[in-house]
Structure formats: structure tokens, C-alpha cells
């Protein structure tokens, strides 16, 4: 959270949500046939924060949506992924 607050203080646009919240947002966009539009909309942010990764297990379709979000950021913007679990414990 501290990194995202510092980024905000310096004028960067930041979007913060848990992994589950990001998945829900992307599922809703997908249900409206607006997934691509939503992913493009998120490019406006300098930094995306995905909190609590691995806290809850994800279905394959949910994991695919989260992957779409992360891969879309590649060379387009910064992303911070946080977890209190070791990588081997991610659900």
C-alpha cells in the first residue's frame, strides 16, 4: 500500500484492488462483451496494484482473466502484485 500511496502523492494515477476484485471487474466486463475495452481503460493508470494474490483459489477462467490483466501491462505500465503467501502456496 505504501508504494501506491507514494505514487499517488507524486501525481501518478493508481488503481488498487484485490485479485478477487480485479477478477470480478474483468468478469463483469467480459459478460458485457467489453473485456478489451476494460483492459484498454486500465492502461490510463500508471500503476495497477493487485493485492492478496493466492489468498483465495481461482477457477481456470478467473486465472485466465487475471493473466490477461498482467500480460496486458507488459511494456505498457507498471504493476505491483502482493501476497502474504509464498509462491508455492498460491491457490
Strand extents, DSSP E, 1-91 = 14-18, 47-51, 78-81
Find, among 50, 86, 88, the residue nearest to 68 by Cα.
Answer: 50
Domain tally for the chain? Answer: 1
Residue 89 lies in a domain: no
Find, among 41, 47, 4, the residue nearest to 26 by Cα.
Answer: 41
Residue 14 belongs to domain spanning: 2-83
pLDDT (tens digit per residue) in 17-67: 999 999 999 999 999 999 999 999 999 999 999 999 887 788 999 999 999
Q: What is the pLDDT of residue 64?
A: 95
Q: At 44, which CATH number? A: 3.40.50.300
Residue 88 lies in a domain: no
The set of cell numbers assigned to 23 is 477478477
Residues 8, 26: Cα–Cα separation, whole Å: 24
Amino acid at each position: 500500500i505504501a508504494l501506491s500511496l507514494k505514487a499517488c502523492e507524486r501525481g501518478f494515477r493508481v488503481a488498487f484492488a484485490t485479485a478477487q476484485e480485479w477478477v470480478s471487474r474483468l468478469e463483469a466486463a467480459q459478460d458485457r462483451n467489453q473485456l478489451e475495452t476494460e483492459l484498454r481503460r486500465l492502461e490510463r493508470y500508471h500503476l495497477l496494484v493487485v493485492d492478496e494474490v493466492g489468498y483465495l483459489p481461482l477457477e481456470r477462467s478467473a486465472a485466465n482473466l487475471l493473466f490477461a490483466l498482467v500480460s496486458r501491462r507488459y511494456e505498457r505500465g507498471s504493476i505491483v502484485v502482493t501476497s502474504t503467501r509464498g509462491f508455492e502456496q498460491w491457490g
